[in-house]
């Protein structure tokens, strides 16, 4: 079996073609492929989504579409970018369609609309019913807009910004977004629901007739003229109802386009071979089904931009005869070795993937650190609100690690709270994150100590804190002390004591003193930033604190 007949080989080469030269193969297929096959666009969508470039590619193509299309036809006719966008809508909005479009279809199945009825009563009732539908459905569309995924919201926002830049005339962006929403989402969803999304119900014949009528009405929201339907058409009776909804449609479009920030994904060159085996064949089959003139329209841009070799490699993966009419004049040749243009090793591919994941993890880790600091500050505010008479000082995030004075509830002796969440930016992110976690647990233990009234628990805590203190100051190359299992498992019971309050106060003071000293010892640990064992030591300290927290819980 030749390599070009090997499905694994074909799918792998196709994806490699898509990866090179800033995805020129992907962009060319989207711009110039004339197929209307949902299988083609859904397959391309899934591959791009798996690689992390779907939304960036889609945004680029929609910008290009806006710049090269007249406003009155933009998003009103099918093109490659709009076909890919419709495919994204079908996938990302499946649950929204089920929640909001299905009720529309079900309600239309129950009413018999007869606008041409000779019976005045029947005709009036039909007009009232449709008017009611218009109001209810716009409310549903607004709710749908509020629930639309952030990824799609950013696409609407980018389209609006691009339209405002290219066509600064007032009202153009509203028309374009309306066309995008009503022509590419609502109309196909209610007219051909099964093709748009499998989760949408199929209307009855009576319901389909009503939905066709409503689709004509909803398409008038695109141009938003003062007289949507001329008086010669019987639909003019809905003009007032339509015009009265323009304001709500504007609000809905503002909500739809409220974001212009694309999701943060890293480009993943290594896509699952199983995914490629499922999704590349429909793309190849769709290309093979095109007429020679349509194939020529795809190949010519490759030649014009100097990437004829990519076109030849792409066609080599198909059964298309490059010597037939319309293709013969392009002077194409069959490559001897398909895919030899790809000069990046697999090792570099995997390295890039690993680096991408590391960047993503670091990004989220920084967000976690920031949120942890904000949570800590909010907890401090809550404590102040709970005790307005004796307010506790808030942490100053811009000062170096220090200790904040705090009063004991049952003792006049001043104690101190571990507050540090400021850690030098020079410290590596991983160590910094672990130190933040450590400090958070210290503060948690501090609160447990001040609130506890059990001498037994405090006594055990004092013993455990002694281990923590020792672990915080012993040499970094030594093994950190651990809390023995028998101490962990020991049952905690309070015993009656005559001077329990004094004993509790004494235990609290001792525990807090040990905790403070252990916290201060951490400064010495920071002199070992280059030592690989520092992380192990911080992990060990965190484990001891977890054991202490356990006895309080």
Highest mean predicted confidence (pLDDT) among 10-24, 282-296, 385-399, 442-456: 282-296
Q: Is residue 304 part of a domain?
A: no
Q: Is 347 in the same domain as 229? A: no
b/e string for 86-119 if b means 16 or more Cβ within 10 A? bbbbbebbeebbeebbbebbebbbebebeeeeee
Query: In the prediction, which pLDDT does 409 show?
Result: 37
273 found inside a domain: no
d(CA 415, CA 36): 73
Q: Determine how β-strand 414-418 pairs with β-strand 403-407.
A: antiparallel
- Note whether 517 and 447 are same-domain residues: no
Domain membership of residue 542 as a residue range: 500-552
- Check residues 137 and 486 and name the one with the higher pLDDT: 137
| H or E element in which residue 505 lies | helix 500-525
Torsion, CA 15, CA 20, CA 26, CA 27, rounded to 10: 180
Higher pLDDT, 260 or 181: 181
Residue 16 lies in a domain: no
pLDDT for res 475: 75
pLDDT at 110 over 70: yes
pTM for the model: 0.60
Say if CB 494 and CB 551 are below 8 A apart: no
367 and 249 in a common domain = no
Within a domain: residue 155? yes
Specify the higher pLDDT residue, 507 or 256. 256
- Residue 435 belongs to some domain of the structure: yes
Residues 6+ apart with CB under 8 A from 318: 284, 287, 288
Q: Are residues 84 and 218 in the same domain?
A: yes
User: What is the Cα–Cα distance from 199 to 352, expressed in whole angstroms?
Assistant: 38
Residue 467 three-state SS: helix
pLDDT band at 344 (very low <50, low <70, confident <90, very high): very low
Question: Is pLDDT of 48 > 60?
Answer: yes
384-401 pLDDT tens trace: 666 544 333 333 333 333
Q: Is 105 within the bounds of a domain?
A: yes
Of the three residues 232, 257, 282, the one that is the final residue of a domain is: 257
Cα separation, 539 vs 515, in Å, equals 17
Report yes or no: 148 and 93 within 8 Å, Cβ to Cβ: yes
CATH number at residue 128: 1.10.506.10
Residue 90 lies in a domain: yes
For residue 95, pLDDT beyond 50: yes
Q: Are residues 111 and 237 in the same domain?
A: yes
545 is a domain residue: yes
pLDDT for position 499: 65
**Pair 250, 366 in one domain:** no
Together in a domain, 372 and 233: no
Statement to judge: residues 110 and 192 lie in one domain: yes
Question: For residue range 467-499, what is the model confidence (pLDDT) as tens digits?
Answer: 888 888 777 777 777 777 666 665 555 444 456
384 or 272, greater pLDDT: 272
Q: Could you say which of 193, 223, 257 is where a domain stops?
A: 257
Count how many domains the chain has: 3
- What pLDDT score was predicted for residue 88? 93
- Confidence class of residue 278 from pLDDT cuts 50, 70 and 90? very high
């Amino acid at each position: 079996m030749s390599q070009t007949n090997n499905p694994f080989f074909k799918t792998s080469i196709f994806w490699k073609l898509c990866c090179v030269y800033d995805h020129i193969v992907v962009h060319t297929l989207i711009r110039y492929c004339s197929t209307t096959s949902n299988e083609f666009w859904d397959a391309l969508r899934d591959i791009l989504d798996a690689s992390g470039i779907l939304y960036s590619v889609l945004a680029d193509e929609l910008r290009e579409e806006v710049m090269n299309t007249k406003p009155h036809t933009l998003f009103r006719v099918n093109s490659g970018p709009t076909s890919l966008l419709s495919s994204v809508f079908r996938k990302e909005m499946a649950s929204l369609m089920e929640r909001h479009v299905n009720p529309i279809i079900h309600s239309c199945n129950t009413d018999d609309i007869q606008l041409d009825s000779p019976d005045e009563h029947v005709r009036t009732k039909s007009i009232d019913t449709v008017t009611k539908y218009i109001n209810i459905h716009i409310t549903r569309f607004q709710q749908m807009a509020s629930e639309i995924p952030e990824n799609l919201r950013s696409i609407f926002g980018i389209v609006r910004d691009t339209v405002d830049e290219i066509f600064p005339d007032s009202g153009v962006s509203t028309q374009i977004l309306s066309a995008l929403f009503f022509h590419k989402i609502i109309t196909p969803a209610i007219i051909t629901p099964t093709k748009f999304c499998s989760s949408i119900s199929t209307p009855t014949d009576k319901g389909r007739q009503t939905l066709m009528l409503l689709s004509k009405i909803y398409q008038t929201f695109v141009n938003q003229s003062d007289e949507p339907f001329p008086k010669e058409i019987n639909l003019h009776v809905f003009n007032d109802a339509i015009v009265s909804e323009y304001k709500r449609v504007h609000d809905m479009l503002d909500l739809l386009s409220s974001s212009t920030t694309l999701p943060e994904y890293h480009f993943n060159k290594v896509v699952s071979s199983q995914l490629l085996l499922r999704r590349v064949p429909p793309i190849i089959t769709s290309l093979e089904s095109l007429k020679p003139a349509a194939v020529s329209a795809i190949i010519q841009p490759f030649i014009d931009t100097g990437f004829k070799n990519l076109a030849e490699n792409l066609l080599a993966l198909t059964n298309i005869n490059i010597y037939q009419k319309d293709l013969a004049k392009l002077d194409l040749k069959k490559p001897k070795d398909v895919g030899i243009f790809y000069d990046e090793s697999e090792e570099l591919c995997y390295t890039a993937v690993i680096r991408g994941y590391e960047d993503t993890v670091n990004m989220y880790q920084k967000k976690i650190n920031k949120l942890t600091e904000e949570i800590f500050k909010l907890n401090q505010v809550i404590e102040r609100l709970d005790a307005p008479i004796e307010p506790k000082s808030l942490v100053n995030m811009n000062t170096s690690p220090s200790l904040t004075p705090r009063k004991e509830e049952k003792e006049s002796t001043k104690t101190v709270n571990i507050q540090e969440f400021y850690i030098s930016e020079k410290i590596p992110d991983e160590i910094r994150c672990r130190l933040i976690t450590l400090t958070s647990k210290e503060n948690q233990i501090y609160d447990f100590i001040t609130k506890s009234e059990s001498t037994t628990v405090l006594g055990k805590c004092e013993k455990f804190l002694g281990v923590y203190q020792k672990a915080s100051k012993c040499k970094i190359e030594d093994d950190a002390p651990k809390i023995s299992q028998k101490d962990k498992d020991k049952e905690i019971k309070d015993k009656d004591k005559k001077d329990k309050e004094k004993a509790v106060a004494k235990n609290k003071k001792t525990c807090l003193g040990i905790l403070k000293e252990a916290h201060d010892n951490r400064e010495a640990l920071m002199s070992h930033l280059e030592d690989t064992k520092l992380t192990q030591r911080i992990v060990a300290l965190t484990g001891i604190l977890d054991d202490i927290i356990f006895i309080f819980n």
